[in-house]
A and B are shown apart, each in its own frame.
Chain A
Amino acid sequence: AQSVTQPDIHITVSEGASLELRCNYSYGATPYLFWYVQSPGQGLQLLLKYFSGDTLVQGIKGFEAEFKRSQSSFNLRKPSVHWSDAAEYFCAVGASSSNTGKLIFGQGTTLQVKP
C-alpha cells in the first residue's frame, strides 16, 4: 500500500532563506508524486508533480522538487522564501501501477516565515 511521511510537522525559516521540506514515500513501483500547498481556510493547490523523466521538477511560485528513487524521497525546495509562502505543504503519492488515480497524502508541514 502507498504511504507518505513528512517528518517535519512545523518549520520556521527567515524570509530570504532557503527552504527544504522533506517527503518520504512507500510504494512498490515508481509512484506519481505531488506537492500541494494550502493557505488558511483554502483548498489545496498543486505546486508541482512528478510522473516520469527528469527527476528534478519545476513548479509554480519558484518551487522545485527532486525525486530520488534510492532514498524514496521527493523533497521540496525553494532558494529564497517569501513571507507569502507561509502555509501548510502536503506531499502526496499516487499509484502508477494500479491505475486507480488514488492519492494518499502525508500529514503536512506547516511553514512559518520570520521577517
Chain B
Amino acid sequence: DAGVIQSPRHEVTEMGQEVTLRCKPISGHDYLFWYRQTMMRGLELLIYFNNNVPIDDSGMPEDRFSAKMPNASFSTLKIQPSEPRDSAVYFCASSLGTATEAFFGQGTRLTVV
C-alpha cells in the first residue's frame, strides 16, 4: 500500500477563500484522523471517523471547519472562510481498529495570507 495520501502538499490561499484538504487512508483501515500542527499548539486532534462516521469533532476550532468522509477511501477537511490563523500543517492519519498505531500522511502545509 502507498500509505496515507494527502493532497495538496502545499496550499497558499488568500484570507476569505475556501480551502479543501484531501486524504486517502490506507486501504482496510477503519479509523481516520485529522490533526493540525502549529508551533504554538503542537499536534491537535481535530476530528476522527470510525467506519466513515464522525465520532469526535470536539477539536474542530469553529464552524468554519468541516470534515466529511463520504466513503472508506476518501476524506476532506474544509475551511470556509479561511483566516491567517488557520495557517498550519494538517495531517491525516489512519489506523486499523483500536490498539493499533496510526499511520500518518505527509501533511498539507496551509498558508493563508
Further pairs besides A32-B98, A44-B91, A100-B56: 17, Cβ < 8 Å: A43-B4, A43-B106, A44-B104, A46-B101, A46-B103, A49-B101, A90-B43, A94-B98, A96-B99, A100-B55, A101-B31, A101-B95, A101-B98, A102-B33, A102-B48, A103-B102, A105-B45
In the complex the two chains form, what is the Cα distance from A36 to B107 in whole Å?
15
The answer on a CB contact under 8 Å between A43 and B42 is no
In the assembled complex, B13 has its CB within 8 A of some CB on chain A: no
- Categorize the interface residue count of chain B: 20 to 34
- Categorize the interface residue count of chain A: 20 to 34
The answer on a CB contact under 8 Å between B99 and A103 is no
Q: Residue-by-residue, is A23-60 near B (CB-CB < 8 Å gives 1, otherwise 0)?
A: 00000000010101000001111100101000000000
In the complex the two chains form, what is the Cα distance from A104 to B41 in whole Å?
13
Given A43-B91, A105-B43, also A34-B101 (CB < 8 A): yes
Of the candidates A34, A43, A96, A102, the one whose C-beta lies within 8 Å of that of B107 is A43
User: Which residue from chain B places its CB closest to the CB of A90 in the assembled complex?
Assistant: B43
In the assembled complex, A70 has its CB within 8 A of some CB on chain B: no
In the complex the two chains form, what is the Cα distance from A44 to B56 in whole Å?
22
Which A residues are in CB contact (< 8 Å) with B35? 105
The answer on a CB contact under 8 Å between B43 and A108 is yes
The answer on a CB contact under 8 Å between A103 and B45 is yes
In the assembled complex, A99 has its CB within 8 A of some CB on chain B: yes
